[in-house]
Structure 1
Amino acid sequence: MTRVAPDEVRTVTCIGAGVIGGGWVAYFLARGYDVVAWDPAEDAEPRLRHLVELAWPALTELGLAAGASTDRLTVEHDLAAACARADFVQESAPEDLELKRSLLADIDAATPPGVVISSSTSGYGMSEMQVRCAGADRTVVGHPFNPPYLIPLVEVVGGEATSPDAVAWASAFFTHVGKSVITMDREVPGFIANRLQEALWREALHMVANGEATVEQIDRSITDGPGLRWPIHGPLLTFHLAGGQGGMAHMLDHFGPSLLSPWTRLDSPELTPQLRDAVVDGCLEEADGRSIDDLVAERDRGVIAVLRALGKV
């Protein structure tokens, strides 16, 4: 079995060049790797190079690794050729289970033995996806957050057929390249962070659907409210402080009954045309003429400022 050490990886192959896959490409380039990318779309290469160009100022501000260059990106049009010299593979195809199963099997067949294959899936468990892989023992989930070139978190977890060694290797590699890694003890539907995001997302849609809050009000309620606390302590330690000197014990003993208050509507709301239009129109109104590229640059500047303020750069 050929598997280089996590700190000896030189070439990373990224399968899928959309928003997530392209973000991974930019990140690995900035970390000084040779990156080979593959995507079946006819316009994949110009879209990918535009995404890398858009991300590069933020990555440059954060600090590029020695030798980092966008010139080290190669776009292959043949999947087997893209995987042939990989030391590590990150797959970021669309969230379609049948597609994931087929593509991972093809990647597995084309990638040198032992090389860890990681999936960016945000919803499927590796046990569901690895069923057609002859080398399923080296397949893991490496779930990033958008944009992968900027947000540090990666959730790593294997499937039923994954070897513990592959999970440990992937966690070590992501840590080596500068990510904040959660190595999950077992598969959890939706992973950890997405479960929490989903709860907030559902509540937001219910409030818009019921006319209780606008898109702009909901966003401001987080950016100017609890969102300012979460980068420092997270939601649970934040509530620990809400209990004063008694901490979480006091918080639960005194405010526990409020958990029964009928505030939340955690069931999925029906995505009616009216709700869809309300959310879309609200986002356009809040964007106030700023393009997607403008908002990406604004977001990146803000995230970098937060990371810098917290001493995480």
Structure 2
Amino acid sequence: MVKVTVCGAAGGIGQPLSLILKQSSKISHLSLYDIVNTPGVAADLSHINTQSKVTGHVGNDQLKDAIIGSDVVVIPAGVPRKPGMTRDDLFKINASIVRDLATAAAKYAPKAFMCIISNPVNSTVPIVAEVFKKYNVYDPRRIFGVTTLDIVRASTFIGELIGAEPSTVACKVVGGHSGHTILPLISQVPGYPKLTQDQLEKVTHRIQFGGDEVVKAKNGAGSATLSMAYAGARFALNLIDAAFYGKQLVECTYVQLDSDKQGAQDTRRIIGNELEYFSVPVALGPNGVESILPIGTLSPFEQGLFSKAVTELKGNIAKGTNFVAESKL
């Protein structure tokens, strides 16, 4: 019996994400929360002939009922990025939303696995962690920044270049979840030597800034909602399989490196000790983060990408932690 709560379930990511989760036989209760329209979304999904019960909860008065006793809490809530909007602009709006949802989770589902999709992930994951610390329920193994869309894009874009079926292309993507902090390790992908330096630089940039491509194509009407819903559901379902059904699975995800100090030593060797959070390959299991796996060998090109990413990430993380320190909970 696994209860999953989706916070932001009526939004552009939340609705398709909830649709994908409703199809899983591993979820017994799908609890949908948003500030508007959730009962209608829940009623719609409840007609799908799969076993999970669907409940809809709307507004602050129903947040406790939505989240209490949850095993997994997925948070895609927040405003989407619009043309010309930076992730800093997003932060000002979404930070308060994530803080308040994290507060509810800390109170009513402190053992839940937290899957954070709300942008900017580099900062919102530290917000959730700091809230859990304030309520004395913090376990770094159970809080995840969902960076799976970067892996999905890497598989797609690299597959197109090397003539491989995208679903068979496995490319680690480490670092963070915005622009230059996204670090695809293309040198570790079989078929990589086929790429020229120009192709390598262009596909790396496309993976890093794929979100801009979608925002531009939608011409102000939205951001990467469908692909993000797919990626978010993939991560949540893999986490459920690993945590509750005994499957051995590895995903790259943005976590607190102290969730496995021993395993993080390889990452620390490359990035130093300044960063608390980094997206790394993680073996998932009953505790969430069972172990952090090595990043592996980097090419000279990839090594050059890291220094810029580390500097940017440091500022992103500080922004999230400082936000909670200055908040009244």
TM-score (norm 2): 0.40
Which one has a larger percent strand, Structure 1 or Structure 2?
Answer: 2
TM-score (norm 1): 0.42
* Highest RCO, 1 vs 2 (Cα 8 Å, sep ≥ 6): 2
